[in-house]
Structure 1
Amino acid sequence: MPTEPRKLAKTKPPTGLIYIEDHEGDNGEVTPGIASRLGITPSTYRKWRMAGKGPHAFRLGKNVVARIEAVDSWVKARELEAVPAAA
């Protein structure tokens, strides 16, 4: 079964922020969004966000954005929770 092409954000996010969806730059390079960084679909992230889960994101105009550092920190915290502390 063929996969649908992934949805890309139409505008470039402000510096240091990312959208839920991936963004294609002027040079054709795709910058991963929140969902791609977490390895989930954008719809799954939206469900998480409504349930108060996942990295902190906020509305900026019509878009939902997160600081790149917030997403990376959230992933790092999950990693540290999964790895037992060295005795």
Structure 2
Amino acid sequence: MPRNPLKPPPPPPGCLWIDDAADRIGVTRSTLYKWRQKGIGPRGFTVARRIAYRITVLDAHLAECESANEETEPNPESRPAEPRRIRTSLAA
């Protein structure tokens, strides 16, 4: 008879486990692990060998990303990109 998987404990109040945190900010779990290794992205903490993220920290990270995108949007008065030239074959 197959063994029933153990249900993980609930995260601390106001927090999400890494899987739910990744879903909330729209990245994969492996991306969050890589960000933790590099010391970038939202700050998480460990609870009983599991990684948790505060919801307020995740929301602040999303707001920071949105404001960074607004600052780097192209200027509407800037010159458009040059059209690509089509190469013609010289083979005869």
**TM-score interval, normalised by the smaller of the two chains:** 0.5 to 0.7
Root mean square deviation, CA, Å: 1.7
Q: TM-score, normalised by structure 2?
A: 0.65
Q: Which runs of 5+ in 1 are unaligned?
A: 1-8, 22-32
2:58 equivalent among 64, 68, 71: 71
Q: Which runs of 5+ in 2 are unaligned?
A: 1-6, 73-92
1:14 equivalent among 12, 15, 39: 12
Amino acid paired to 1:72? D
1:35 equivalent among 17, 22, 25: 22
Amino acid paired to 1:38? I
The structure, 1 or 2, with the larger RCO (C-alpha pairs under 8 Å, 6+ apart) is 2
Larger Rg: 2
Q: State percent identity of aligned pairs.
A: 32
What CA distance in whole angstroms lies between the structure 2 residues aligned with 1:62 and 1:84?
Answer: 38
**Of Structure 1 and Structure 2, which has the larger fraction of its residues in strand?**
1
What CA distance in whole angstroms lies between the structure 2 residues aligned with 1:16 and 1:80?
Answer: 24
The number of equivalent residue pairs is 66
Q: Which runs of 4+ in 1 moved over 2 A?
A: none
Corresponding residue for residue 81 of structure 1: 68
Q: TM-score, normalised by structure 1?
A: 0.68
